[in-house]
Amino acid sequence: MNAGYGMHVVGAILGKTTGKSFFVCASNDVNNQNINELFTVDSEGVKRVWSTFTDALAQCVAGRGDFVFVSPNYTTAPSAAELLAAETKGVTISPLGEFNGYAYTASRATATLPQTATGALFTVTGRVKLLGIYGEVTTILGATATNAKLIATPTVGSAVDICAAVAVANLAVGTQLGITGTFANAMMATNGAILAQATPTIIKAGTIGLNTTANNTGSVKWRVEYLPIDPAAKIIAA
């Protein structure tokens, strides 16, 4: 807590509010021990780390400007009752995780292509503004004629193609994949350089997946940049 690292983290977080800061983190979360060590019981004897939104929000006081921060690995979205409690008390619920100064990010380790199917790449919790999704070929893709596209599949509602398909047979190691944000445009597949996503896309809770039209070999890793819209909304690797 008093080490330079701990003081930096505490200062960065507490600088966002004049109220108290609480944390939601599951007991089996890989970050649980670190978060509990950094954010011990406060000077008034109030515990700051909780395993549910309900418990954390119960510690918040209306009008004080309290924050509830959520561990990157916590995948349960707040319920309607919890969101109402946060709104009534004026509490901000915000994700913790990889923030590059511009957007939150999430990465998915390299994996083989889905085989004539849609394979989930990322899980989306709550609505987010997708600012970019980038793939990189890590094992050369096979010669079988294959088209690929990205699909947003909501938990409630119908799936939407967030780009048109592109031919991916024989893509070399290092080839980058991405989208423009215009659904009618084909997914980009270029080596060396690729355009950034020009148009942000609003994605509902559900998954972002890769769809292929054939069985093919090869492997691709993925990374996303996004901003949460709903409280505690985030993207994590599926």
pLDDT of residue 142 exceeding 60, the answer is yes
210 contacts: CB under 8 Å, gap ≥ 6:
113, 114, 118, 119, 121, 148, 149, 150, 151, 220
Cα separation, 24 vs 68, in Å, equals 7
Q: Is the pTM of this model over 0.75?
A: yes
* Residue 53 in tokens: 């939104």
Inform me whether the pLDDT recorded for 85 exceeds 80.
yes
Residues whose CB falls within 8 Å of the CB of residue 220, separated by 6 or more in sequence, listed in order: 110, 111, 113, 135, 136, 137, 138, 141, 177, 210
Where does the pLDDT of residue 59 fall: very low under 50, low under 70, confident under 90, or very high at 90 and above? very high
Distance between CA atoms of 153 and 124, rounded to whole angstroms?
Answer: 10
Of residues 146, 148, 218, the one with CA closest to residue 179: 148
